[in-house]
Amino acid sequence: MTEVAVFAVFAAAALASAVVVVAHRNPVYSTMSLVVTLLSTAVLFVLLGSPFLAVLQVLLYTGAILVLFLFVIMLLNVGRERRLPGPVPLQTWAAAVGTLVLFGAVARLLWEAHGAVELAALTPDFVSTGKLAEALFSSYLLPFEIIALLLLVAVVAASWVARRGDRGEDEGVSS
Amino acid sequence: MSAELVAALAKTGLWVFALLQVAPVMLWLERRAPAFMQDRLGPNRVGPLGLLQGIADAVKFIFKEDTIPSGADRGLFLLAPALALVPALTTFLVLPFGPTVEIAGHTTALVVVDSDVGILVFLSLASLGVYSLVLAGWSSNNKWSLIGSIRASAQMISYELALTTTVVCALIPAGAMNLGAVVDYQREGLWQVVTQPLGFLVFLVAAFAETNRLPFDLPEAESELVAGYHTEYGSMRFAMFFMGEYMSMTTLAALGVTLYFGGWSLPFVDFSGFSGLVQALLGFGVIMLKVGLWLFFFIWVRWTFPRFRYDQLMHLGWKVLLPLALVQFVTTAALVVGGVL
C-alpha cells in the first residue's frame, strides 16, 4: 500500500515537472524542473529494486550534468526580453501528432506484452552492486573500455577547441 | 507505528538534534578561538564567556527585515536558502554510529539507512548542495552574487573529483560501499589515516574546498565580492546559508571520521559489554567528539592561512590533488591485490 502511494506521488511529480520543463519560458526554471523529474525517476528506480541505479542517476545527472546545464544558461544570461516568444504554431501541431503516435505505439506494446511473457522477478542478488560490477568488468569489459576511451577523446577535443581561440595571447599565464 | 519506524525516527531525531546544535556552538567557537589565538577577548558580554551570544544573534536574525531585491527572480531567490539545508539534513542518513544492537527487544543497526550503496547516497546528496549556491547567485541579479556562485560551482565540481577518488581508495580495503563495513574493517586493524595518509591528506584539503572554507572561500571573498553568492540575503535567509554551511562541514567531517578515524569506535575500548541503548549513545558521543576535533581544525586553519588566488585553487585541485588521489588509488589497489592490506 505504501509502495503504491509512493509510486503515485513520484510518478505524478515526474510527469508534472516534465511538462514544466517543456512549457516554461524561463530556461532556469526548466532546468530546475528537470532536476525534479530526474529525482522522481530515481525514486521510481528504488521502488523497482535498484538503489544503485537510482543513486547513480542522482550523482551523475542531477549532481553533475544538470549543474553544467545551469552553468551555461547562467553564463549566457538570457534576459527577460530575449526569451523565446513561444512555440511556432507548426511546431505545436507537429509535437502533438508526434506525442500521440508515440503514446499509441507504447500503449499497443504494453497491451500486447501484458501477460504474454512471464518475466522472472528481480532478486536483490541480481541487481546487487557486486553482480553489476562483475558483469561490467567481465562480459561487458570491451564496451566499457571503449566508452572510457571515447570520453577521453571527447575531453581532449573539447579542451583543444577551447584553447584554439586564445592561443599565443596568455601563454605565460598558468591556468 | 511499527518498531522499525520508531527506530528510524529516533535515530534521525538524534542526528538532527546534534546538527542543530552545531551552528550556535561553532559560531561561539569561531569567535572565541581566533580571539584566543590573537590574544584578544572576543565577545564576552552576553552570558558567561559570551556563551549566549549565539542566542542573541538568532534573535537578531529573526527580527531583521527580510528584503527581496526588486530585480531578483522571486521564486528562485526564496528557494535557494532552503536548498542549502537539503544536503546538510540528509547526508547523515548513511553514517553509522554504532554496531547492530538490541534495544527493547528489537535488533537494529545503529545507522538510519543501512544501505549497500551507502557512500554513493552520501556523495549524491552532497552534490545537490551546489544548486543552492548557483540559484542564489543567479536569482539575486547582482554581479557579485553571480561571480561568487560561478566560482562556487566550478570549485565544488573540481574538488569533488579528488574527494570522490580518495573515498574510493578508503573503500577498497573494506571491499564494500556500506560505511558500516569500513568502520568494522578499521576496528579489526589500523585506522585508515595510518594506512592511507596520502588519501587522507587529499580528502582533508578537498573537504575545505567543498565546504567553501578558508583558504578556499573564494565564492564569498569579501574583499573582492562583498559577500559572494549571499550578498543580497539578510535576516533568516542568510542564517539558513550559514547553518547549511556549518552542517555540511559537520556531515563531511563525520564522513572523514568514518573513513579515516575509525568512526564510532575507539582503539583498545570495547563497548559491547553495555546495553544496546548505552552503546548507541556512547557511539554517537565518540563520533561527535571526533567531529568536534575536526571542526576545531577547520577553524584553526581558517585563522592561520591566507586566501588562495583563483588560478592557484584550480591548479591545486586539478594538477596536484587529483594526481595524488590517483597515486593513492593505484597504491591501495596494488597493496590489496598483493595481500598487504
Interface test with A, best of B124, B131, B139, B308 (most A CBs within 10 A): B124
Cβ contact (<8 Å) for B116 and A62?
no
CA-based nearest distance A53→chain B, Å: 10
Question: Which of A63, A71, A74 has the CB atom closest to B127's CB atom?
Answer: A63
Check residue A174 and give its pLDDT.
Answer: 45
CB pairs under 8 A between A and B: 71
* Ranges B45-49, B83-87, B90-94, B162-166: which has the least confidence: B45-49
pLDDT value at B328 more than 50: yes
Cβ contact (<8 Å) for B124 and A173?
no
B168 touches chain A (CB under 8 A): no
| Chain B residues within an 8 Å CB radius of A173 | 311
What is the bridge-based pairing of β-strands B100-103 and B106-109?
Answer: antiparallel
Name the band, by pLDDT with cuts 50, 70 and 90, for residue A175.
very low
Burial label, B332 (beta-carbon count in 10 A; 0-12, 13-18, 19+): buried
Interface of B with A in 89-128 (CB under 8 A): 115-117, 120-121, 123-125, 127-128
B78 touches chain A (CB under 8 A): no
CA-based nearest distance B137→chain A, Å: 9
| Chain A residues within an 8 Å CB radius of B116 | 51, 128-129
Name the band, by pLDDT with cuts 50, 70 and 90, for residue A116.
low
| Chain A residues within an 8 Å CB radius of B117 | 51-52, 55, 129
Interface of B with A in 213-242 (CB under 8 A): none
Name the band, by pLDDT with cuts 50, 70 and 90, for residue A86.
low
Asked if B340 and B211 count as a contact pair (C-beta separation under 8 A), the reply is: no
CA-based nearest distance B302→chain A, Å: 25
- Which three three-digit cell numbers place residue B13? 531525531
Residue of B nearest to A55 (CA): B121
Check residue B245 and give its pLDDT.
Answer: 86
Where do the H-state alpha helices sit in A138-173? 141-164
Peptide bond before B215: cis, by omega within 30 degrees of 0? Answer: yes
Check residue A95 and give its pLDDT.
Answer: 87
Name the band, by pLDDT with cuts 50, 70 and 90, for residue A117.
low
- What is the residue-wise DSSP string for B285-339? HHHHHHHHHHHHHHHHHHTTSPPPPHHHHHHIIIIIIHHHHHHHHHHHHHHHHTT
B71 touches chain A (CB under 8 A): no
What is d(CA B208, CA B219) in angstroms, rounded to the nearest whole number?
13
pLDDT value at B1 more than 70: no
Question: Which of A63, A128, A175 has the CB atom closest to B128's CB atom?
Answer: A63
CA angle B132, B310, B207 (to 5 degrees): 55
pLDDT tens sequence across A34-79? 999 999 999 998 888 788 888 888 888 888 888 888 888 877 766 5
Q: Which residues of A touch B (CB under 8 A)?
A: 26, 28-29, 32, 35, 51-52, 55-56, 58-59, 62-64, 67-68, 70-71, 74-75, 128-129, 173-175
pLDDT tens sequence across B179-210? 888 888 888 888 888 888 898 999 999 998 88
Residue of A nearest to B175 (CA): A130
Cβ contact (<8 Å) for B76 and A29?
yes
Question: Which of B125, B134, B157 has the CB atom closest to A74's CB atom?
Answer: B134
pLDDT value at B108 more than 60: yes
Find, among B17, B13, B333, the residue nearest to B175 by Cα.
B333
> What ipTM describes this predicted complex?
0.80
pLDDT value at B79 more than 50: yes
Find, among B153, B132, B140, B155, the residue nearest to B231 by Cα.
B140
B183 touches chain A (CB under 8 A): no
Place of cell 552570558: B47
Q: Mean pLDDT across chain B, nearest whole number?
A: 85
* Three-class DSSP category at B101: strand
| Chain B residues within an 8 Å CB radius of A70 | 131, 134-135, 138, 153
pLDDT tens sequence across B133-185? 888 888 887 888 888 888 888 888 888 889 999 999 988 888 888 888 888 88
What is d(CA B185, CA B173) in angstroms, rounded to the nearest whole number?
8
Asked if A131 and A125 count as a contact pair (C-beta separation under 8 A), the reply is: yes
What is d(CA B182, CA B171) in angstroms, rounded to the nearest whole number?
7
- Which residues, at least 6 apart from B304, have a Cβ–Cβ distance to it below 8 Å? B37
Number of H helices, E strands in chain A: 7, 0
Residue of B nearest to A124 (CA): B116
Cβ contact (<8 Å) for B128 and A32?
no
Name the band, by pLDDT with cuts 50, 70 and 90, for residue B115.
confident
Cβ contact (<8 Å) for A59 and B124?
yes
Q: Mean pLDDT across chain A, nearest whole number?
A: 81
- Which residues, at least 6 apart from B194, have a Cβ–Cβ distance to it below 8 Å? none
Cβ contact (<8 Å) for A70 and B124?
no
pLDDT tens sequence across B240-299? 888 888 888 999 999 999 999 888 888 877 777 777 788 888 888 889 999 999 999 998
Interface test with A, best of B93, B131, B156 (most A CBs within 10 A): B131
Cβ contact (<8 Å) for A67 and B123?
no
